[in-house]
């Protein structure tokens, strides 16, 4: 384990970068997923078609390909994803604001891909809300938006929280791919670099990397268990 202590600064730096990446991508995925879920249940057929097409494409294309199109397709279209250079936010997440766009590309790829799964998790929650609820809401004259906002989504959210948690945990682990698409210094790749270039022993460092991921995923799992228990009481 000496190798982990010797390279603690590298692993800690990698942990921090991966944490930033997954935090921002989780927000992106939740926003995209919610919008697409609303599309998929909306009464407007073209919107439903868009929602279905989105899920079909992004749930079925390998993440590597999504990353590739994000990192090499967007530049070909002349975009450096500069819309993600959000003032204020780039003070906390310094990688957002720099000229090198690969951190932003990684957020886009992870958000788009995970968004499809978030959408389906939310939809499973919406399906769990008894149809009578939405019908009653419509009967008292609520619009589609009000119906969703005040009646359906608050209940759907509770049923969706556990599958959503699994989706986010999967995304945290998927984030390791970012290191192959120009993001320098994420957790798994900075550790791997110490093994191949630094000549450090592989097994202790790989264990160190695993622990880093566990620190991110295990508390999330515990939190979800808590929420699920509270929900059980509420019912």
Report the Cα–Cα distance between both ends of the chain, in Å, rounded: 47
Closest CA to 25 of 101, 113, 125, 121: 113
By beta-carbon proximity to another protein, the closer residue of 18 and 147 is 18
| 25 touches 110 (CB < 8 A) | yes
How far, CA to CA in Å, does 228 sit from each of 96, 127, 157, 165, 235? 34, 18, 11, 11, 11
Does 28 bind another protein (CB under 8 A)? Our answer is: no
Give the footprint of another protein on residues 31-70 (CB under 8 A): none
Q: How far is the CB of 193 from another protein (least distance, A)?
A: 6
By beta-carbon proximity to another protein, the closer residue of 120 and 193 is 193
CA distance 215 to 21: 15
Residue range at the interface with another protein (CB under 8 A); choices 32-40, 169-177, 185-193, 208-216: 185-193
Q: How far is the CB of 182 from another protein (least distance, A)?
A: 5
Does 184 bind another protein (CB under 8 A)? Our answer is: yes
SS3 (DSSP) at 28: helix
Residue range at the interface with another protein (CB under 8 A); choices 48-56, 166-174, 187-195, 211-219: 187-195
Q: Could you say which of 131, 197, 203, 234 contacts another protein (CB under 8 A)? A: 197
CA distance 134 to 137: 5
Q: How far is the CB of 103 from another protein (least distance, A)?
A: 9
Closest CA to 223 of 144, 134, 153, 161: 161
At 228, list the tokens.
Answer: 């699920």
Does 94 bind another protein (CB under 8 A)? Our answer is: yes
Does 12 bind another protein (CB under 8 A)? Our answer is: no
Binding stretches for another protein (CB under 8 A) = 72, 75-76, 80, 94-95, 98-102, 179-182, 184-185, 189, 192-193, 196-197, 199
């Amino acid at each position: 384990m000496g190798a982990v202590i010797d390279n603690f600064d590298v692993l800690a730096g990698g942990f921090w970068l991966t944490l930033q990446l997954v935090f921002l991508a989780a927000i992106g995925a939740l926003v995209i997923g919610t919008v697409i879920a609303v599309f998929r249940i909306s009464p407007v057929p073209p919107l439903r078609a868009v929602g279905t097409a989105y899920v079909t494409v992004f749930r079925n294309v390998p993440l590597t390909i999504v990353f590739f199109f994000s990192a090499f397709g967007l530049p070909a279209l002349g975009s450096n994803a500069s819309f993600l250079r959000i003032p204020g936010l780039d003070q906390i997440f310094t990688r957002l604001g720099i000229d090198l766009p690969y951190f932003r590309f990684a957020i886009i790829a992870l958000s788009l891909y995970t968004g499809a799964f978030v959408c389906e998790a939310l939809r499973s929650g919406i399906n769990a809300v008894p149809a009578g609820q939405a019908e009653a809401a419509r009967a008292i004259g609520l619009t589609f938006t009000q119906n969703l906002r005040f009646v359906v989504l608050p209940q759907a959210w509770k049923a969706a929280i556990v599958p959503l948690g699994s989706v986010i945990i999967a995304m945290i682990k998927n984030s390791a791919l970012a290191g192959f698409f120009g993001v320098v210094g994420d957790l798994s790749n900075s550790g791997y670099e110490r093994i191949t270039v630094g000549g450090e022993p592989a097994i202790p460092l790989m264990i160190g990397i695993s622990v880093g991921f566990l620190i991110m995923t295990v508390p999330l799992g515990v939190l979800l268990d808590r929420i699920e228990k509270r929900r059980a009481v509420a019912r």
